[in-house]
Amino acid sequence: MRNTSEILNKASWIKSDDICPYVYVRTENHIIHPGSRHSQLDWFKDYPILYKNPLELKELEFAEQIYHIEHRAFGPSNMAMPRWVFYDCAVMPGFVAGFAMRSSVLPESLKKNLRWSKDSEWTPLSLFIIIPTMAKGEWVAHNLCSVNSFLEKEEQLYALGFLSKAFGLWYANVETCIGMTQWLSPARKLHSHYGPMEVLSSYSPVHSHAKTLTYRLKVNTNCWLQFFTKEPDLEFLELYRPSGLMVEPKNESNLISIHHNIEKGTGPYFLSATEIAQKNLDESLTLYVPKT
Ligand SMILES: CC(C)(COP(=O)(O)OP(=O)(O)OC[C@H]1O[C@@H](n2cnc3c(N)ncnc32)[C@H](O)[C@@H]1OP(=O)(O)O)[C@@H](O)C(=O)NCCC(=O)NCCS
């Protein structure tokens, strides 16, 4: 199968029996038919899923390990998540997904960087938090991080962050995904690859970082493979055309001006994943509008 083999070439770690996707979820929030909405995607369907229940005291260590990754990844930007936010706002309404590695085979580079114990069979390597909203089929992607953010390049597991979010979206049959990311964050390169990315807010002063992009996308697994192949997204170019406006990620007055356009209803405006992948994070980006 082309899909699977393309991934295996670039992210060979995924075929290891010592790595598996996990879902940290209370029993009532289990998804009844994981993956049924995106059944044409064969990436995750054969993997056994490791389930962890946040309400079981014996699983506390797994939570501490998740916190450890999150604090290391977000500590430098002063956005580490308070424990009550994780519990009240993430784990109670939604769930956490990611990949875990069998603790007995953790390489030294990971042992040095992670909270781990040989008494825990599995050690988490990434986390993606997703929360359902009141709108039907719509979820909020609340947090994404992976150990890659604090490993040397040669020690990283390529696409760990990308595949963690892909797994969560696939698992929960997510139709529409909202998310928030800082304009200059490398995460923008990942988030734009799950479907055409509509800009809901280009300037978000209600957030602690005003230069935050709020986006919404209809999950479209047809374009996920392009994260690996770097092929242009032809489906996007068929449906959207340049609007004539450019967004300048470092320029606050430009972000505010674009936001006024959004409020006036001259959009909706979309970003191209192909263009985001090709450009540096501080370069201007074309805003696209639907052709019809
Ligand atoms: C952002 C994050 C989740 C990405 O996960 P990851 O496992 O590092 O990234 P992946 O291996 O899945 O993807 C690699 C791609 O991401 C992009 N990327 C990752 N780090 C990057 C960086 N420092 N600069 C530019 N692009 C980067 C690139 O496009 C890269 O692909 P390419 O090399 O083929 O171009 C991870 O780095 C992280 O935890 N960062 C800290 C927390 C954070 O900022 N989270 C996002 C909040 S919205």
What HEC string does 255-280 produce? Answer: HHHHHHHHHHCCCCCEECHHHHHHCC
Structural domains counted in the chain: 2
d(CA 48, CA 292): 43
Half-sphere exposure at residue 197, Cβ-oriented, CA atoms within 13 angstroms: 28
164 and 207 part of one domain: no
Domain end, chosen from 114, 139, 174, is at 174
- DSSP 3-state of 282: coil
- pTM, rounded to two decimals: 0.96
Domain end, chosen from 135, 154, 174, is at 174
57 and 3 part of one domain: yes
51 and 98 part of one domain: yes
21 and 146 part of one domain: yes
- Residue 277 confidence (pLDDT): 96
- Which residues form ligand 1's pocket by a CB distance below 6 Å? 73-74, 144-146, 148-149, 158-162, 181, 185-187, 189-190
| Residue indicated by tokens 């992976």 | 146
Per-residue model confidence as pLDDT tens digits over 215-273? 999 999 999 999 999 999 999 999 999 999 999 999 999 999 999 999 999 999 999 99
pLDDT in tens, the chain (292 residues): 345 667 768 899 998 999 999 999 999 999 999 999 999 999 998 889 999 999 999 999 999 999 999 999 998 888 899 999 999 999 999 999 999 999 999 999 999 999 999 899 999 999 999 999 999 999 999 999 999 999 999 999 999 999 999 999 999 999 999 999 999 999 999 999 999 999 999 999 999 999 999 999 999 999 999 999 999 999 999 999 999 999 999 999 999 999 999 999 999 999 999 999 999 999 999 999 999 8
128 and 220 part of one domain: no
Tokens read off for 29: 């929030």
Mutational pocket test of ligand 1: of 81, 150, 190, the residue with most ligand atoms within 8 Å of the beta carbon: 190
119 and 13 part of one domain: yes
Contact 93, 132 (CB under 8 A): yes
Domain end, chosen from 174, 207, 225, is at 174
By alpha-carbon position, which residue is closest to atom 37 of ligand 1?
149
9 and 93 part of one domain: yes
Residue range of the domain that includes 130: 1-174
243 and 126 part of one domain: no
Triad 162, 71, 159: Cα angle to 5°: 15
d(CA 84, CA 187): 24
The β-bridge relationship of strands 270-271 and 50-52 is unpaired
- Residue 108 confidence (pLDDT): 93
193 and 78 part of one domain: no
151 and 239 part of one domain: no
152 and 74 part of one domain: yes
43 and 144 part of one domain: yes
d(CA 64, CA 129): 15
